Amino acid sequence: MKIYFSGLYQETNSFCPVMTDMGCFQRGYLLQDDAIRKRLNGTNTELGGFFEAVANYPAPIKTIPGMAAWAVAYGPVLRDTFERLADLIVAPLKDSLPVDGVFLSLHGSLVAEHLDDGEGVILKMVREIVGESTPIVCSLDFHAVVTERMLKNADMLIGYRTYPHVDMGETGRRATKALLKLVTEKFRFDTVFRRVPMILPVDNTETIDGSMFEVMERVKNWEKRPGVFSASAFCTHPWVDLKGHGVALLVYVEKSGHGEIEKELSQLADYIWNGRHKFLRNYPDVDAFMQKINEYEKPIAIVDSGDITTAGGMGDSTVLLRNLLSMEERILSAVPIVDAVTLEKAWSAGEGQTIDCSAGGSNDKDAYNLRVPLTATVMRLCDQPLIIKGTSFSGMKLDIGRRALLQVEDSIFLMVLEFTSMMNDPQFWRSMDLEPNSMDLIVQKSHKLFRAGYADIVKSVVTVDTPGCTDRNLKRLPFSKIDRPIFPMDDVKYWN
């Protein structure tokens, strides 16, 4: 049996003004040929799961590597970058025809500057190469936006079941097993799909409790039934602006089991819709948080919800920094900021030197990322990659570029970075000899990813309603392509 595989992951934020270029993927990873296995085998990733499922299969399988690329969430992918990545996927496939099956591992919300629905376009290209009779199975993130083009061009789309995400490897194994079954048994099945016209905030859709836990339990139970080959629920990525947006339920089932599942799928869609207001939470704005800051048990992890770099925030917000600096009695605070200008200044000066600078991303006085003038001491400079140790993406090596740890007036430890990256692991600070345990407050630029690594460090977790590219209030963002009406932007009376 001969199976072709590739992976491409980028969660695009349509409102982030900085485009994703090839450098973003090179800093994450961009692998070809045997380098894919060397890097990802044994990791908790979809392709790690693919390698494991193939190795455990009772018959020999020849695997044909294409490409594997990952970039941190950012603005739309540049046209040239998208076309080069797509070529890295399709060229090795064309060279290795015929194949018995294709395993693709995609994120599901990639948008390029010249086209929406990046994954749908890639699946269509692959389908045109292998033809209708070769199975294509694609694993997707829980935050995928499942489009008609994706459904049409993949035999099966199979999603994560956890948020915060911890089941990437398991999803890869499930998807690979489904593919191998399709290749060897050539069974026929029906696709049952339902989209609910709502965009959910990501901060209240954990699968460990609450409504989304209930949704996932029902989805998992479907898959235990005879005749059901795969069942997934997709919560979608709120900050991508494309047609087909909305929470999605997707089941692949034997033709005889179609009717019953369709009925239950509708019931689950109704359950999600009827409980839509329960997903919305109110969080303090920055003024309300600052008034109560001394009431929280420390260390506090404070989630800067408008500037989440794992969802496309630019990481250059100064809203929290400005407020921490204005405190009469300061507290020890660790604050990350993306600012290439200040970084260059720190590197030119060197460790131990004092610099005058301004940190932030904009000079517009009304902007959330307004620059703040500072005098700071350069504590530490580093350009070494980071090995993530927390549960999510454990073992992943990340090039987070050059960075500088600045100390501002004894109380603020400012980590200045060249570009956005995952900042969710305690190693992020420890790589600069700063122990997060010794801080009163650590600013977080992820909604949930930091929680596993910080579980034994922080005593309080507070999400603060701040502005930025990942604004929780979707009504404040300029959506133009999504299907309307949609909840919570519009008052949708009845949908089903």
Which residues are near Zn ion by CB under 5 A? 141, 143
- Between 117 and 339, name the residue whose CB sits nearer to Zn ion: 117
Residue placing its CB nearer to Zn ion in the complex, 143 or 177: 143
Which residue is closest to Zn ion by CB? 143
Q: Hunting for tokens 């239950």 — which residue is that?
A: 264
**Cβ closer to Zn ion: 116 or 141?**
141
Cα angle, residue 219 at apex, residues 217 and 222 outer, rounded to 5°: 110
Helices (H), 186-231: 210-224
Smallest distance, Zn ion to C-beta of residue 164, A:
9
Nearer to Zn ion, 321 or 449 (CB): 449
Q: What is the DSSP string of 434-453?
A: --GGG-SEEEESSSSTHHHH
**Residue of 282, 313, 293 lying closest to 446 (CA atoms):** 313
In angstroms, give the least distance from the CB of 28 to Zn ion: 15
Locate 491 and state its tokens.
């008052």
Q: What is the smallest separation between the CB atom of 142 and Zn ion, expressed in angstroms?
A: 5
Nearest residue (CB) to Zn ion, 119 versus 141:
141
Taking the complex as a whole, how short is the minimal distance between the CB of residue 109 and Zn ion, in angstroms? 8
Biggest CA-to-CA distance, the chain: 73
**Residue listed under structure tokens 């400012």:** 414
**Would you call 414 helix, strand, or coil by DSSP?**
strand
Long-range contacts of 217-226 (CB under 8 A, 24+ apart): 218/264, 218/268, 219/161, 219/249, 219/268, 220/161, 222/251, 222/261, 222/264, 225/257, 226/254, 226/257
CB-nearer residue toward Zn ion: 194 or 237? 237
Q: What is the CA radius of gyration of the chain?
A: 23
If the CB atoms of residues 234 and 454 are measured against Zn ion, the closer one turns out to be: 234
Query: For residues 206 and 418, which CB has a smaller minimum distance to Zn ion in the complex?
Result: 206
Residue pointed to by tokens 């999603």: 159
Q: Minimal distance in Å, beta carbon 140 to Zn ion?
A: 9
Least CB distance to Zn ion at residue 362 (A): 28
- Residue 335's DSSP bridge partners are 414
Closer by beta carbon to Zn ion, 4 or else 142: 142
Considering beta carbons, is residue 139 or 369 the nearer one to Zn ion? 139
Distances (CA, A) of 187 to 4, 132, 167, 184, 454: 20, 14, 27, 9, 46
- Least Cβ distance, residue 468 to Zn ion (angstroms): 18
| Shortest separation between residue 248's beta carbon and Zn ion, angstroms | 14
Nearest approach, Cβ of residue 49 and Zn ion (Å):
16
Helices 46-56, 168-185: crossing angle, 10 deg rounding: 50
Closer to Zn ion by Cβ: residue 234 or 252:
234
**Alpha-carbon distances of 40 from 50, 74, 172, 323, rounded to whole Å:** 10, 23, 12, 41
**Minimal distance, residue 163 CB to Zn ion, in Å:** 7
β-pairing, 403-408 with 136-140?
unpaired
Preceding amide of 485 cis, omega within 30: yes
DSSP string, 298-317: SSEEEEETT--GGGT--S--
Structure tokens at 393: 């993406």
Task: Report the nearest approach of Zn ion to the CB of residue 11 (Å).
Answer: 6
